[in-house]
A and B are shown apart, each in its own frame.
Chain A
Amino acid sequence: MSRGTKQKLAFALLTAAAVVVVVPVLLVAGYIIWRGAGAISLEFLLSAPRHGLREGGIFPAAIGTVILTLGTAIVALPLGVGAAIYLSEYARDDLLTRLIRMAIINLAGIPSVVYGLFGLGLFVLFLRCGTSILAGSLTLGLLTLPVVISTAEEAIRAVPQSFRVVSVSLGGTKWQTIRHLVLPNALPGIITGVILGLERAAGETAPILFTVAAVYLPRLPRSVFDQTMALPYHLFVISTQVPGMPMTLQFGTALVLLAFVLSLNAAATIIRSHFRRRRSW
């Protein structure tokens, strides 16, 4: 085989690989939309499941996912941004910093089901939060923390050093400089990072299995100590535990979950590109 033929063959294989990677993504999205769109109606979105989940809608699960996503943000945002500020503005190259960095890498690698165990052990049982929105949000917040820290740190480091020097030379203290100059300019990047973290948290099932998720709870939660339904867990339950479950409802649930998660992704992308275009440095 000549060099040229070999190259042609190799490139054909590479192209095929890219097709094999990407086409299923389109198929997955297309298939879910195709089979699920029929289920989508106001009734489906705004009513609770009935008759052993086989009828009705997904309202409590959808609201539960929104609540858990907000709860995750409340936990991960301050901690994540705080840690990112520490790492980018204060940390020296010392043992503590290296330990923190190792801890972040470690946290990022912990399997989501292990987060679930941890949440059960610490929040649900030891701290007596019970199976609750509080325990679930804390668990998901920790899971999200590494993504938030790393993207926030990157955004903060992207603010040119010269701005900091100018701010200090105008009589700004270190914290004033961070507060009034660095953070406002890093904000779009930070928000992007947080949303990407939430995107992951919103779709997770394993961490909420034992910390917050309810199989069936037709009313909305009343406090952070309540359980709640959630879309990912609801999809798991209706697709594996409920015999005779109508397919449209399953696909409809999958579609809503996918749409929610991907709209978070889209929001992050839009914010990122919008501010990239606008910023002057």
Chain B
Amino acid sequence: MVTGAMPPASLQPPPEGTCDAMTTTAVPSKIRVENVSFAYSNAEALRGVSLDVYPHEVTVLFGPARSGKTTLLRLLNRLTDLLEGTRRSGRIYLDGQDIFAPDVDVAELRRRVGMVFAMPIPLPMSIRANLTYGLQLKGVRDRALLEARVESALRAAALWDEVKDRLEDPASSLSGGQQQRLCLARILALEPEVILLDNPTSGLDPISTSKVEASLHELKQRYTIIAVPHSVQQAARIADRAAFMLGGEVIEVGTAREIFTRPRDPRTRDYVEGRFG
């Protein structure tokens, strides 16, 4: 494969030509996963996964538990680096740049590709400090800029009205749904390009869930979104594009309409129709 042989890419212009040649649409993919396999120290988790993710879409990864969805998300911003004894092969490109190239600034990558975890994990500090944490680590000192980002991020996560008068309160004083939106806002404050949502509504009540779902439609105007839903129904509600995962493999990828109305693979069909998993 041509891309595979490229030198470390930070200086290179994004090799859009190569990407274009492989995709079916005219838009270049934001993220390209190419034949990725991954194993934890004690278990294989992904086998030969390939996937294209396009900008301004919600791409959904769905499938039964332990099918590798979380693992794939973790690979996309290299949180897997934190674990020891893992093995990986294949390549992942963000805007055509290999994210595992030796000269990649991992911290910068993680700011560009933000992750919201399944459980809301507010950091043990104030609401405001949660939002400015990432920016301050990046070196942003400008108070006005920090303030502006706090507000815009909270607005985008539909949380501003609820917390604007209590930004100094500990983040742990928020309800579960608010905490999850805080975690989303915390990512947005960094103005990322891609947002990874790992089952973001797992612990939430229906009202909070619909708030989060609604905000996705706003967010995808500006960001590329990859989400693991908590049910097939939710997948169908939020997805523009969907990938069905099973046993560490991507079984089938397509537009939401294709996958949820006329899946080609029988395993996808069974899962979508609720016959297993």
Chain A residues within 8 Å of B, Cβ to Cβ:
92, 162-173, 176, 180-181, 185, 279-281
Contacts and interface: CB of A to CB of B under 8 A. Distances in A.
B137 A279 contact: no
Chain A CB within 10 Å, residue with most, of B79, B123, B170, B172: B123
B84 A163 contact: no
Nearest to B170: A280
27 contacts: A162-B117, A162-B119, A162-B121, A163-B121, A164-B82, A165-B79, A165-B82, A166-B117, A166-B121, A167-B123, A167-B133, A167-B137, A168-B79, A168-B82, A168-B110, A169-B77, A169-B115, A169-B117, A170-B134, A170-B137, A170-B186, A171-B107, A172-B137, A173-B137, A176-B137, A279-B124, A280-B124
B123 A163 contact: yes
A171 B134 contact: yes
A173 B109 CA distance: 12
Nearest to B115: A169
Contacts of B183: 166
B61 interface: no
A92 B41 CA distance: 15
A27 to B, nearest CB: 44
B133 to A, nearest CB: 6
A172 B82 CA distance: 12
Given A163-B123, A165-B82, A171 B172 contact: no
A165 B82 CA distance: 8
B237 interface: no
Given A163-B124, A165-B79, A180-B137, A170 B111 contact: yes
A166 B110 CA distance: 11
Contacts of A185: 124
Interface residues of B, number: 26
Contacts of A169: 77, 79, 110, 114-115, 117
A164 B82 CA distance: 10
Given A171-B190, A176-B137, A166 B107 contact: no
Contact of B110 (A92, A171, A280): A171
A46 B97 CA distance: 72
Contact of A171 (B123, B138, B170): B138
Contacts of A168: 79, 82, 110
Contact of A170 (B133, B170, B172): B133
Nearest to B84: A92
Given A167-B133, A170-B190, A181 B114 contact: no
B108 interface: yes
Contacts of B121: 162-163, 165-166
Contacts of A173: 107, 137
A172 B123 CA distance: 13
Nearest to A185: B124
Contacts of B117: 162, 165-166, 169
Contacts of A279: 124
